[in-house]
Each structure stands twice: as C-alpha cells, then as structure tokens.
Amino acid sequence: MLSLDDLVTLYPDETWLELSSHDRTAVWQQVSSQNYSSLNARERAYQNLLCLQAVSRLLTEDFDLSQPPQVWVEEHELPSIWDVVNGSAIEINRRRLAIVPCDDTNFEELRVEQEWIDIPTWAAHYYLAVQINPQEGWLRVLGYATHQQMQRSHHDPLECTYSLDRQQLRKDLHALGLLKDWFPPPNLTIAPLPLLSDRTLEAWIKQLSQTTLYSPRLDMPFEQWAALISNSEWRRVLI
C-alpha cells in the first residue's frame, strides 16, 4: 500500500489531504456518541464528518476567502442527514458547495444522491468529488461539477442518483465560483416538491422509522421521500 507521500509524488497535480490519527480518533468518538439507526449509517457519518472538516480547513487555509465556510445546517442536524444520505454542504459567499465522499479504490464517476440535486432547500451550486481512505489516513479532492452539469448527467431512477464521469470534472478549485463574492450566485432551476397530507406523512413515518440495516430512502416514491426528509423535524423521527 502506497503512503500519502508516495501518492503525492506520483500524482503531484492532485489535491491530497492528510487525515491525522488524532483527527480520525476525535471524529470517531464524536459519531460514536451520536444516535444512528445502523452501523452503516455511523460509518457514513464518520467519512462525511472527516471530509467536511478537512475540506473546510483546506478552503480556509489555502484560499483568500472574505468569510470562513459555514455548514449549511445547524451541526446538531447533521446526524439525521447522514443517517439516510451521503454528503454534506458548506456555504461561502451565498453559494453552496456539496461535499460528496467516496471510498471506492478506483474512482470512475461522481455519484450524487438525488436529494442533493432535486430538493430545492438542499441543492448546491457546486459538487465536490472526494475520494477518502480513512484507514490509510488520506483524502483526495478529484474535482467539482456544477448543479447544471449534475442535472444533465446520467440519472438512475432505481438508485435515485446522478452520475458524472470523472473526466468531466473541473480540476481547478481556484476557479470555483463560490470563491468570488463580486457577482450574485447563479439561480438553480428545480421543480417544487409535493405537499404531504398528515395522513400520508404519519403512514410513511410509521413504516420508515422501523429499525433496518440500510437507509430507507428507496422505500417510497422519491418526490414524497424528498418532501419528508427536507423537513428537519420529520427527518429526526427516522433515526
């Protein structure tokens, strides 16, 4: 197995970040103290929190930002998100950057769960592809795509994901529009979600709140699922 130094030498044009043993231990202790519905959800939270912290540090330390990155929701809401979906988001200069980790050894595509594209209150202006290897203590920033790119990418209606080939990712992080605050953020074109009746909502929450080994995100029609989890109070009931 190649060390981080070896990887940096082999791929000097990539952005590599170290995940120190201290950071990994601290993050694992944090997610271990939180409530998740399954071991898979806890592992997902672990990887996402590592990425969120590392990318936030990178942007703060290496880019001339007018203000530091802000997590897009209150931090106490993150467990309810990571319990069901992969990814997180930060906001800079009125723009949102979704951070999408992947632990695949051979990264071929940026796969984003549909919630981050089609829920109006979740959608981001940009999507950052991050390959993570917690065991070896590193992550690699592979590039980013715009919301419009992801909308036009391959949509899998069974898995409720959008996928963009790695070769189509933009590499230069300094070209990210979110790093510039002298022009307004682009408008995102997203269809509104349906309104759920109280009866429908209660029925779905009762069904989905049962303990499972997997995320229940594929157990109901996406539009109804999206309407449910976009509400933080309803989402927390699922944990």
How many CB atoms are closer than 10 A to CB 10? Answer: 9
The full set of domain ranges for the chain reads 4-189
Helices 198-208/222-229 angle, 10° precision: 90
Measured CA to CA in angstroms, residue 229 lies from 179, 181, 214, 220 at distances of 29, 31, 16, 12
pLDDT band at 179 (very low <50, low <70, confident <90, very high): low
pTM (two decimals) = 0.94
Please name the amino acid found at residue 107: F
* Displacement of CA 83 from its chain's centroid (Å): 12
Pairing of strands 126-133, 95-102: parallel
Query: Average model confidence (pLDDT) for the chain?
Result: 91
Reading the block at residue 234, the tokens are: 């309803």
What b-and-e string marks burial along 190-206, b requiring 16 or more CB atoms within 10 Å of the CB? eeebeebeeeebeebee
Which token pair is 23?
């950071």
Tell me if residue 17 falls in helix, strand or coil.
strand
Q: What is the pLDDT of residues 54-69, one digit of tens each?
A: 999 999 988 878 788 9
Q: Is the pLDDT of residue 177 over 80?
A: no
Confidence of residue 71 (pLDDT cuts 50, 70, 90): very high
What does the pLDDT average to over 116-135?
97
